[in-house]
Structure 1
Amino acid sequence: MPASKPGVESDAGSEFVEIDPTGRYGRYSEVLGKGAFKAVYRAFDEVDGLEVAWNQVNVQDLLRSPDDLERLYSEVHLLKTLKHKNIIKFYTSWVDSKRRNVNFITEIFTSGTLRQYRKKHKNVDMKAVKNWARQILRGLLYLHSHDPPIIHRDLKCDNIFVNGNYGEVKIGDLGLATILRQAHAAHSVIGTPEFMAPELYEEEYDELVDIYSFGMCVLEMVTFEYPYSECTNAAQIYKRVTSGKKPAAFEKVKDPEVRKFIEKCLAAVSRRLPARELLMDPFLRCDGERETLECIPVIRKQSRVDDMEELRSSAVTNHESDQGDSDQQRKSIDFKVKGRRREDDTIFLRLRIADPEGHIRNIHFPFDVEGDTALSVASEMVAELDLSDQDVTTIAEMIDAEILNLVPDWKPGAAFDE
Structure 2
Amino acid sequence: KEKRKRTAFHFAAEKSDNSNLKWLVKELGSDCLTVPDKYGNMAVHLAAQHQPVDSLQFIFDQIAAEMFSLKNNRGETPTDVVESNRCRTDQSAKRAWISSTQPQLEASRPPAGSSAPTAASAGPEGPPLLERWDAVRLIGRGAFGEVHEVRTDTGVTCAAKTLRLPVQLGDELPSVSTEIHRAIESERNLCRLRHPNVVRFLHIAQPEPATVVVFMELLDGRSLERFIDNKPLDELTIRDFSEQICRALLYLHSRQPPVIHRDINCSNIIVCADNTRIKLIDFGLSIKLEQSVSHMSASTQAPKGTLNFMAPELLGAGESDSVQYSRESDIWAFGCSVFQMASGARPFANAKSMLGMAKLIDRKGAPALPDGRSAELQDFYSRCTAMDRRRRKAAQELLEQEFLRKNL
- TM class by shorter-chain length? 0.5 to 0.7
- 2:151 matched to 1:151? no
Change (3 A) 1:154 1:126: same
2:308–2:347 contact (8 Å) kept in structure 1: yes
Change (3 A) 1:273 1:124: closer
Superposed displacement of residue 35, structure 1: 0.7
1:197–1:241 contact (8 Å) kept in structure 2: no
Change (3 A) 1:78 1:158: same
Q: Partner of 1:56 in structure 2?
A: 162
Alignment of 1:12-23 (within 5 A): 22-23=130-131
Query: Equivalent of 1:27, from 135, 140, 144?
Result: 135
Deviations 1:212-258 (A, max 9, x none): 000000000111111111334332211122345223x6345643222
1:159–1:171 contact (8 Å) kept in structure 2: yes
Query: Which structure is higher in helix share?
Result: 2
Q: Partner of 1:210 in structure 2?
A: 330
Partner of 2:187, secondary structure, is helix
Change (3 A) 1:242 1:146: farther
Superposed displacement of residue 179, structure 1: 2.5
Unaligned runs of 5+ in 2: 1-115, 117-127, 318-322
Partner AA of 1:44 in structure 2? R
Query: Equivalent of 2:206, from 95, 101, 121?
Result: 95
Query: Equivalent of 1:192, from 306, 316, 336?
Result: 306
Q: Partner of 1:135 in structure 2?
A: 244
Q: Partner of 1:264 in structure 2?
A: 383
Across the aligned residues of Structure 1 and Structure 2, the Cα RMSD in angstroms comes to: 2.9
Q: For 1:91 and 1:46, how far apart are their aligned partners in 2? A: 14
1:152–1:177 contact (8 Å) kept in structure 2: no
Change (3 A) 1:185 1:251: farther
Change (3 A) 1:167 1:183: farther
Q: For 1:242 and 1:286, how far apart are their aligned partners in 2? A: 33
2:264–2:333 contact (8 Å) kept in structure 1: yes
More deviation in 265-274 or 251-260?
A: 251-260
2:233–2:344 contact (8 Å) kept in structure 1: no
Alignment of 1:3-402 (within 5 A): 22-23=130-131, 25-28=133-136, 30-45=137-152, 47=154, 51-61=157-167, 65=175, 66-97=177-208, 100-119=210-229, 122=231, 124-165=233-274, 167-174=276-283, 175-182=285-292, 187-189=300-302, 190-201=304-315, 202=317, 203-204=323-324, 206-243=326-363, 245-247=365-367, 250-252=369-371, 254-267=373-386, 268-287=388-407
Q: For 1:154 and 1:144, how far apart are their aligned partners in 2? A: 14
Change (3 A) 1:222 1:184: farther
Superposed displacement of residue 137, structure 1: 1.0
Partner of 1:54, secondary structure, is strand
Deviations 1:185-237 (A, max 9, x none): 56345112211111113234531110000000000011111111133433221
Q: For 1:229 and 1:133, how far apart are their aligned partners in 2? A: 21
Q: For 1:153 and 1:109, how far apart are their aligned partners in 2? A: 21
Q: For 2:212 and 2:324, how far apart are their aligned partners in 1? A: 27
Change (3 A) 1:138 1:169: same
Partner of 2:347, secondary structure, is coil
Superposed displacement of residue 123, structure 1: 7.4
Q: For 1:31 and 1:215, how far apart are their aligned partners in 2? A: 31
Q: For 2:363 and 2:224, how far apart are their aligned partners in 1? A: 29
Change (3 A) 1:31 1:229: same
**Identity percentage over the alignment?**
28
Q: For 1:153 and 1:185, how far apart are their aligned partners in 2? A: 17
1:38–1:56 contact (8 Å) kept in structure 2: yes
More deviation in 188-197 or 176-185?
A: 176-185
When the two structures are aligned, how many residues end up with a matched partner? 267
Change (3 A) 1:77 1:270: closer
